[in-house]
Chain A
Amino acid sequence: MTTALRTPAGISWLVLVGLSLLSYWVGTDHGLDNKDAACAALIAVAVGKVYLIGAEFMELRHADVRLRRGFQVYCAILATGLIGMLFVL
């Protein structure tokens, strides 16, 4: 298992677990005082995790440029749309 954790997928998993624990900490009233800022941070971290899962687990880092760009655009729209809703609504 130690060998597996040294692979790109293993390192990504460690980062994803770390970010999940950070989100849990922020979301269980130990985080930011400003609730909109806390929400924005949670969404930003979540979309960062989405990107990492796509790039490393789905192997989009090595994929055709059209697929890679399409996924990057999806992540950008998801983050902008959800965080934008927090402040516009």
Chain B
Amino acid sequence: MTLTQTPRDARSNRPAAFPGEPGLWFFLFADMTLFACLFGVVVYIRDDQPEVFAPSQAALSQTLGLVNTLLLLTGSLLVALGVNALRGGPGRVDRMFAGGIACGAAFLGVKVLEWGHAIADGHTASTNDFFSAYYMLTGIHLAHVTIGLGVLIAMYRNVRSPNVRRNLVEGGACYWHLVDLLWVVLFPLVYLMPAG
């Protein structure tokens, strides 16, 4: 059996055996593995430098981190409902994707606000190892959010066109969920995990 979608997937409204393109999953797993290593770095810094980790973490806003978590989870829900609507489920696909785009844009806004406060308080990437890891992790994640927003906009335009490309929509949705998936680990590790 090859890593291709079966004819059943193309004809039916059921979820595909490989949502999106099968090759996309190699990329998604590689990305998830990279982040798993970066998460390990955060746990290492917590153990190695608790005297640096605790006060640095306290300088972050846990509430803004929670707000961003809720924004991404809601964006993911809307995108999942949009994919379901594309298969004949309730709701309008384009409106669901527009809601997902709004959630992603709001995440960017909150992150810019958060970084602005941190930099204004004198916490930059060169301050200590915690902030190096913080800016690296949230920066790479922010790049994913930005790319994901571009993908969502492409999906929005596609579902409003006469030629809907289901693979594009399902694959794009999986990428957006990846952005969410990475954040739900990043948030507790960086913002909530107690040190000492």
Summarize B's interface: helix, strand, loop or mixed: helix
Given A10-B77, A82-B39, are A20 and B69 also a contact pair (CB < 8 Å)?
A: yes
The reply to whether A16 and B73 contact each other, CB–CB distance below 8 Å, is yes
Q: Cβ of B44: which chain A residues have Cβ within 8 Å of it? A: 85, 89
Cα–Cα distance between A43 and B189 once the two chains are bound (Å): 7
The reply to whether B66 and A53 contact each other, CB–CB distance below 8 Å, is no
Q: Cβ of B164: which chain A residues have Cβ within 8 Å of it? A: none
Cα–Cα distance between A29 and B18 once the two chains are bound (Å): 42
- What 0/1 pattern do residues 4 to 22 of A give for CB contact below 8 A with B? 1001011011001100110
Q: Does B195 touch A at the CB level, under 8 Å?
A: yes
The segment from B114-122, B133-141, B173-181 that touches chain A is B173-181
**B177–chain A nearest beta-carbon distance, Å:** 4
Q: Cβ of A82: which chain B residues have Cβ within 8 Å of it? A: 39-40, 43, 189
Q: Cβ of A81: which chain B residues have Cβ within 8 Å of it? A: 36, 40
Q: Cβ of B188: which chain A residues have Cβ within 8 Å of it? A: 23, 27, 42-43, 45-46
Given A17-B70, A57-B180, A63-B18, are A85 and B40 also a contact pair (CB < 8 Å)?
A: yes
- What 0/1 pattern do residues 22 to 65 of A give for CB contact below 8 A with B? 01101111000001001100110111011001101111101110
| Residues 1-60 of B at the A interface (beta carbon under 8 Å) | 14-19, 25, 29, 32-33, 36, 39-40, 43-44, 46-48
Q: Cβ of B174: which chain A residues have Cβ within 8 Å of it? A: 58
Q: Cβ of A64: which chain B residues have Cβ within 8 Å of it? A: 17-18
Interface size classification for chain A? 35 or more
The total of Cβ contacts below 8 Å across the A-B interface reads 140
The reply to whether B192 and A53 contact each other, CB–CB distance below 8 Å, is no
Most buried by B among A28, A49, A58, A74: A58
**B56–chain A nearest beta-carbon distance, Å:** 15
Number of interface residues of B (CB under 8 A): 52
Q: Which of B70, B76, B189 is in CB contact (< 8 Å) with A57?
A: B76
**B152–chain A nearest beta-carbon distance, Å:** 14
The reply to whether B40 and A47 contact each other, CB–CB distance below 8 Å, is no
Q: Cβ of A29: which chain B residues have Cβ within 8 Å of it? A: 194
Given A7-B81, A17-B73, A85-B40, are A39 and B177 also a contact pair (CB < 8 Å)?
A: no
Most buried by A among B19, B44, B76, B192: B192
The reply to whether A62 and B14 contact each other, CB–CB distance below 8 Å, is yes
Closest 8 CB pairs of A and B: A27-B192, A59-B15, A64-B17, A62-B15, A9-B80, A13-B77, A89-B47, A42-B188
Cα–Cα distance between A16 and B187 once the two chains are bound (Å): 13
